[in-house]
Structure 1
Amino acid sequence: MDTGAESGPEAADERGEPRRWLIMAVLSAVAFMAQLDFFIVNVAVDGIGRSFGGASTPAMSWVLSAYAIVFAALLVPAGRLADLHGRKRMLLAGVAVFTIGSALASFAPSLPVLVAARTVQAVGAAMSVPPSLGLLYPSFPPRQHALVVGLWAGVAGVAAMAGPPLGGLLASLDWRWIFLINLPIGALTLLGGARLLPEVREPSGRPLPDVVSTATLLAAVSALVLATTQGPQWGWGSPWTIGLFASAALLAAVTVRRGFTASAPIIEPALFRSREFTAAALALLSLFAGFAVYLFGGALFLQQVWHFSVLEAGIGIAAAPIVSVCFAVNAGPIRRRFGRVLPAAVGTLTMSAAAGYWLLTVTDVPAYWSAMFPGLVLMGVSGGLSQAPLFAAAGALAPDRATTGSAVLNMSRQIGSAIGVALLVAMVAAAPSARTFSHAWVLQLALGILASVSVLLPHRRGVADRAHRRTTSRAAQR
């Protein structure tokens, strides 16, 4: 791997980069900002609509959808370009774009300007998130990779869980603070990144990603997320929704075909030869669909059914990120003691356990400590246990594919989140009550089981393959 003149001595030796923990802080800030802004706006949508003259729900949905669509669509192309042209360069450019978008959003005079600013934010987030994980591996010695990836994933997971609580707190002052808070964080991240981060890129002479597969991937992900996020508004049977889903499937098929025929496809099939990586991508899709149901649904339930204020709802959900942090900071010891598969499987099933608990205990009568709080603790355990080993699957790839692998995993996470929000909106569109929200918790329960199966199935196949080889070997010896 060409680390460039800026990287100094080889970073990936047994000692690692001397300033590696400062580098970790910078990269964690990047992951935190990008993931936080996907969920932080949810609890402030009503307030934003009122400030723009009572904008309609379909119009307001674009404040969420614009970020989701652009972020998910650009992750993989941005990751490939970062590998080619420099991860540090791409990350700093992305943070700058994200900060500019945050400034535009905080001072937006109208809803169209706010939606445009959210689009700019999403471009910056997509540019910065894949190289943030790709820069961790060269900065730390291999023995610390499980620890730092766990911390990075934990920070991103805590950001997602902290979105509603922090959004509720800031929206109780003014919704514009949701975006203003990014400005000092972005400025400090730019200064720290410019001074601390090494430059890492692929060896010179590598071709640019195939134009056709890049374009079809962008269009496929955009069509899929657009259909998913707008389906509840347009109707799942509308020609627009059906047409977008069909287009997404066709474009995805073209992307896969180009993966086998183009000389430099945007997503190389070799990435998915790793069972660990493929399983992680599928599990993250299911896991974050379930997390979106919980995060968005929890805030809506507390406000619409139990009639909590925005601030009360935000504080009420805070138990989950606090518990998640406790597990995330111990990701390294947990992996050394139990391996990668068991924590991921237990974490995904714990999400199902939380949904099952809410199904049994939550009613229309407020009972936060006995009915809601224990499930939130379980969700914190789920996030803290499951995310670190799943994102660590990028480390199973060749070092010069870590950023692209991170982009694919993050794309799975974002598509899953968009699907979860859309399904939740469709389920609770009727008069909100514990009964209508119970459908969402059933969905969350099923998604947790599906994520766990995605984690365990390749492992079981691997065990079966090894057992078969041992049996064959003994038979040959006899």
Structure 2
Amino acid sequence: MVQYSQRAETAAATTADRSNLVLLILCSAAFTAMLDVFVVNIAFTAIGAAYTGSSLADLSWILNAYTIVYAALLIPAGRLADRYGRKAGFLGGLAVFTLASAVCAASPTLGVLIAARVLQAAGAAALTPASLGLLLTAMPAAERAYAVKVWATSTSVAAALGPVLGGALVQLSWQWVFLVNVPIGVAALLAAIRFVPDSRDESVTAIPDVLGALVLAVALGATALALVQGPEWGWSGPGLPTAVAVAALGTAAIVIRVFRHPVPIVAPALLRVRTFSSANCTALLFCTAFGAVLPSVVLWLEGRAGFSALRTGWAIAPGPLMVPIFAAVSQQLLRRWSSGMVVAFGNLLVGVGAAMLALSADTEVDYATQVLPGWIVVGIGVGFALPTLLATATVGLPAAWVATGSAVVNTSRQLGYVLGVSLLVAVLGSTAVPAERAETVFTRAWWVIAAVAAVAALTSFGITEKRNSE
């Protein structure tokens, strides 16, 4: 009996060790995918210098191509992984992401780099929902909530470390911001093959609307194209009217397919849940503001203040560091405020931070007095808004819809990032803004960002779910 008890305890300990290892493997992949977003922002100026003759509109597709494809494929990729096996989806996505990272580093032209970023996004879209699904099934029931928090926190850590790591890597060369993914990806791939158990959802039998996802990518790409190239094209030529027409037709086609396809990318019933629809609208607007303000500060510091990539990384880091701190503070506010009020407060702070940047802008840049205060306020606002927004978005959904609902919210976030980058490009027009115009155009950009954040604060009040006070 004693021997049996000892064997049981040993087996339990082994299971616990294995579940912690699985958590580490899956979190490392999510960490790498998020890290890529922040290090590429820091490397933006260096990449532009490597491909001489590239405009800001051209370079913006390094960011937009990734987010457009990621947004379009996230939901169908998640459903396919549920149907055919999450481990296969995770391994395939991680392999594609890792290989594409190596291709990014070796790209001889900007076009090849953008194409490789599309492949990266496809890999990230496959591994992200599959990693969360594998995590939920691999962890003991009592530890699942903790594991999801760790998984989510890993992306916050990537946001905090990304700017500094990106700045350090760019000191070697911009290629290293992509090459750093390769050893992490290979190690995670080999470990996942050995230690991560497979799972699937037997209730998922129908194939999701993959064509609808591709139409969404085309519509979003046309919208971004109209924003970034519109000022240069004008309405006199065929370019801008064609892009607007494709965007409009694509959007109409998506709406029709949502209501007519047997397995649409977004179930119409989801959109009838007020908290969920308001959360998605707010996520779109919030990420539009944040997607514009981050690269705007990077470009201001590197282009106008003359900061190196490493110095810019250190200068950017205080903003992301505020996020986990004030995410914890927001949990205390939720004892007295509704979720919508907390998210609205966070969005309002993002707008205030952008306004502070606009009011402080001057021909001579002083980081400590003109940039840092506003940037810290932006980081505090993100800490209040984003975690609460993501945690509340799916609370009112039936259990069977939660996974799909989470994917939809993440898709809205990615759409916002695309619109934010495109909006910034439309306002700035160039990476090398002439000194005599820099203060004017960056100030205008920050006021536009503040206005978008203010609208997001208003839509936040539709998020009516209130947390328990205990």
Using the size of structure 1 for normalisation, the TM-score is: 0.82
Counterpart pick for 2:445 among 432, 435, 440: 440
With 450-459 and 220-229 compared, the bigger mean Cα shift is at 220-229
Report if aligned partners of 1:150, 1:329 keep a CA contact under 8 Å in 2: no
Counterpart in the other structure of 2:300: 301
Amino acid at match of 2:417: S
Using the size of structure 2 for normalisation, the TM-score is: 0.83
Counterpart in the other structure of 1:474: none
Report if aligned partners of 2:75, 2:404 keep a CA contact under 8 Å in 1: yes
Counterpart in the other structure of 1:3: none
CA drift at 1:119 = 1.9
Report if aligned partners of 2:79, 2:204 keep a CA contact under 8 Å in 1: no
Q: Deviations over 1:117-142 (max 9, x none)?
A: 22211111121223344445556688
With 337-346 and 257-266 compared, the bigger mean Cα shift is at 337-346
Q: Distance in 2 between matches of 1:193 and 1:338?
A: 42
Distance 1:448-1:58 versus aligned 2 partners, 3 A rule: closer
Report if aligned partners of 2:60, 2:422 keep a CA contact under 8 Å in 1: no
Q: What pairs up with 1:321-336 in 2 under 5 angstroms?
A: 321-328=320-327
Counterpart in the other structure of 1:454: 459
Query: Any stretches of 5+ residues in structure 2 without a counterpart?
Result: 1-14
With 396-405 and 174-183 compared, the bigger mean Cα shift is at 396-405
CA drift at 1:451 = 1.6
Distance 1:142-1:371 versus aligned 2 partners, 3 A rule: farther
Q: Distance in 2 between matches of 1:242 and 1:17?
A: 59
Q: Deviations over 1:139-169 (max 9, x none)?
A: 6688877766555445435545654443322
Q: Say what the alpha-carbon RMSD is for the aligned residues.
A: 3.2
Q: Deviations over 1:366-404 (max 9, x none)?
A: 222222212222122122222222222245434444443
Identical aligned pairs, as a percentage?
A: 39
Distance 1:454-1:22 versus aligned 2 partners, 3 A rule: farther
Counterpart in the other structure of 2:88: 89
Q: What pairs up with 1:343-354 in 2 under 5 angstroms?
A: 343-354=342-353
Q: Distance in 2 between matches of 1:162 and 1:240?
A: 40
Counterpart in the other structure of 1:40: 39
Distance 1:18-1:254 versus aligned 2 partners, 3 A rule: farther
Report if aligned partners of 1:88, 1:197 keep a CA contact under 8 Å in 2: yes
With 266-275 and 159-168 compared, the bigger mean Cα shift is at 159-168
Amino acid at match of 2:260: T
Q: Secondary structure in 2 aligned to 1:41? A: helix
Q: Secondary structure in 2 aligned to 1:40? A: helix
With 281-290 and 209-218 compared, the bigger mean Cα shift is at 209-218
Distance 1:56-1:340 versus aligned 2 partners, 3 A rule: closer
Q: Does 1:66 align with 2:62?
A: no
Query: Any stretches of 5+ residues in structure 1 without a counterpart?
Result: 1-15, 464-478
Q: Secondary structure in 2 aligned to 1:454? A: helix
Report if aligned partners of 2:287, 2:413 keep a CA contact under 8 Å in 1: yes
CA drift at 1:311 = 2.0
Q: Distance in 1 between matches of 2:233 and 2:161?
A: 30
Q: Distance in 1 between matches of 2:347 and 2:82?
A: 31
Counterpart in the other structure of 1:406: 406
Q: Does 1:77 align with 2:68?
A: no
Report if aligned partners of 1:73, 1:217 keep a CA contact under 8 Å in 2: yes
Q: What pairs up with 1:53-202 in 2 under 5 angstroms?
A: 55=54, 57=56, 59-138=58-137, 152-157=151-156, 159-160=158-159, 163-202=162-201
Q: Deviations over 1:314-347 (max 9, x none)?
A: 2111111122132346776665675633432222
Report if aligned partners of 1:68, 1:225 keep a CA contact under 8 Å in 2: no
Q: Secondary structure in 2 aligned to 1:172? A: helix
Amino acid at match of 1:368: Y
